Amino acid sequence: MNLFKKVSLTFLSIIGLVSIASCTDKNFDKDAGYRDVTSKLTLSKSYEGKNFIDDGIGLATVSKLTDGDTTNFKLSTKSTIADTSVITVRYHGVNTPESTINVEKWGKTASLYTANRLTNAYEIVLEATSTPAEKDTNNTRYLGYVWYRESANDTFKNLNLELVENGYSKVTSTIAAYNGIFKEAQSFAEKHEMHIWSNDNDPNYSDEPISTTLQAIVTDLESSSPTFYDNDLELGARVEFDAFIDEHTTTSNGSNYYVISMFDETGKKYSLNAYGGYSSSNVNTILNVGYLVHFIGTIQKYNGSYQVSGLEYTISAPESEKVHVLQKDFYQFFDSNHKRLHLSKETAVNGDLTVTSATVSGTVLTIVGQAKETTTSTETKEFILKVNVSENYDASALKDKTIKAKGLKNADGSIQVNFADLIIR
């Protein structure tokens, strides 16, 4: 388990590992890590030699920590039903605030609480909601209860229940045998106004984003000690900045990923990945390749790479509180192979440009050409490209050539293109 012992010592001292039996409301410590109600529920089922998928219960170890209510586990025995030993378990009966795709208040703190318990566990048992184990509505995660103990002499405790007792989740739905104890745990958390039941500040969450630039974010994240992301806590800052959408891809499961970019005053481009969530997320309805966008989100690390996630768009919210488009066609492409993905639709941003005239004035090459706005367009439209070139550049050979190019839209409507991004055929 040493691989996962990355939880901050500061957080460990806050959480504590000993449940306090009783205390007055005045001195009540909401972060003490309560397990009085949790300790009333005991693991009575036999698990030795059994498999979670086949038998509905079995030993496991942590494979990957995800968030407060989802973890990847490696099963200790082989299943005869499923050809896998590593599974994702969605904790049944609870729903902690988000800390991955979206970032919500108490989400990261709940995630750290779960990480603390599991990284310090001596032994972990998974209990399914049925036999054999069943999956959630997305058919990607097994539903289950996570039991752990901290030593060979310790009794198993139900982590799902403990999350409720400590105010990191409301009770959603439980198996019938656990209904009463889960309600008791929630009553305890409500009574003491713990975490999600309170108006307290979450030390790992901020409503106010840091106003910055994409250049500053990328430069900071490339440093050895970034300030926008705490690698020990795996906690990123909430930020807001402007950038244009350079690329957009949609995976087979409907997840939307973007490459967002911005140039500095010297023309150097800075880029960062952005995660838009599933296609059902409202934010994906307004984002499109080439658009200049005001982003508000949280810096996160996914599969070893930084990205901005938790992009929120609500029509009724004021622009200052949501992701919004600043300018359409801020960055334009002339390339029939470059796709603009807008959820399920795919069209070319602009077709290849056919040059009608090309002139040079000093070190500025002006190209006038015709291109289709989409692959389905029946007519072409005139565009003007501006390119910085060396003195005495010969533009005579460009007429009637086909060009692929990309660049920023100038105030006069022309497209400023770097010479390196001009492909002449």
- DSSP assignment of 387-407: EE--TT---GGGTT-EEEEEE
How many domains does the structure of the chain reveal?
3
308 φ, ψ (degrees, to nearest 5): -105, 125
| Cα(178)–Cα(311) distance, integer angstroms | 36
Evaluate whether residue 104 is within a structural domain: yes
Evaluate whether residue 240 is within a structural domain: yes
3 state SS of 248? strand
The reported pLDDT for the residue numbered 196 is 98
The reported pLDDT for the residue numbered 106 is 96
* 286 and 255 within one domain: yes
| Cα(183)–Cα(308) distance, integer angstroms | 37
* 127 and 6 within one domain: yes
Q: Is the peptide bond before 132 cis (omega within 30 degrees of 0)?
A: yes
The reported pLDDT for the residue numbered 27 is 81
What is the Cβ-side half-sphere exposure of residue 64, based on CA atoms within 13 angstroms? 8
Q: Among 197, 230, 252, identify where a domain stops.
A: 197
* 265 and 188 within one domain: no
Side chain identity, residue 258:
Y
Q: Structure tokens of 367?
A: 């190209």
Side chain identity, residue 60:
A
Tally the residues of the chain.
Answer: 425
Residues 6+ apart with CB under 8 A from 13: none
**217-226 pLDDT tens trace:** 999 999 999 9
Q: Are 240 and 209 in contact (CB under 8 A)?
A: yes
* 161 and 216 within one domain: no
Evaluate whether residue 340 is within a structural domain: no
| Cα(101)–Cα(358) distance, integer angstroms | 48
| Cα(179)–Cα(197) distance, integer angstroms | 20
- Secondary element (H or E) of residue 269: strand 269-278
* 230 and 190 within one domain: no
Evaluate whether residue 333 is within a structural domain: no
Evaluate whether residue 204 is within a structural domain: no
Q: Among 144, 175, 197, identify where a domain stops.
A: 197
258 φ, ψ (degrees, to nearest 5): -125, 150
| Cα(86)–Cα(64) distance, integer angstroms | 10
Evaluate whether residue 279 is within a structural domain: yes
Q: Are 109 and 201 in contact (CB under 8 A)?
A: no
Spell out the SS3 assignment of 324-357. EEEECCCEEEECCCCEEEECCEEEECCCCEEEEE
| Cα(372)–Cα(348) distance, integer angstroms | 9
* 181 and 46 within one domain: yes
The reported pLDDT for the residue numbered 121 is 98
Evaluate whether residue 376 is within a structural domain: yes
Low-confidence ranges of the chain (pLDDT < 70): 1-26, 338-349, 375
Q: Are 179 and 185 in contact (CB under 8 A)?
A: no
* 364 and 313 within one domain: no
* 414 and 369 within one domain: yes
Q: Among 277, 300, 328, identify where a domain stops.
A: 328
The reported pLDDT for the residue numbered 412 is 94
* 186 and 67 within one domain: yes
Evaluate whether residue 334 is within a structural domain: no
* 45 and 190 within one domain: yes
The reported pLDDT for the residue numbered 11 is 44
The reported pLDDT for the residue numbered 345 is 53
- Secondary element (H or E) of residue 156: none
Decide the pairing of beta strands 305-309 and 364-372. unpaired
Report the sign of the C-alpha dihedral through residues 77, 78, 79, 82, in that order: positive
The reported pLDDT for the residue numbered 384 is 96
Q: Kindly report the CATH number assigned to the domain that includes residue 223.
A: 2.40.50.140
* 351 and 301 within one domain: no
Q: Kindly report the CATH number assigned to the domain that includes residue 404.
A: 2.40.50
Ramachandran area for residue 147 (φ above 0: left; ψ -120 to 50: alpha; else beta): beta
DSSP character at residue 420 = G
* 363 and 315 within one domain: no
Q: Kindly report the CATH number assigned to the domain that includes residue 52.
A: 2.40.50.90
Query: Which range of residues forms the domain containing residue 365?
Result: 345-424
What's the predicted TM-score (pTM) here?
0.73
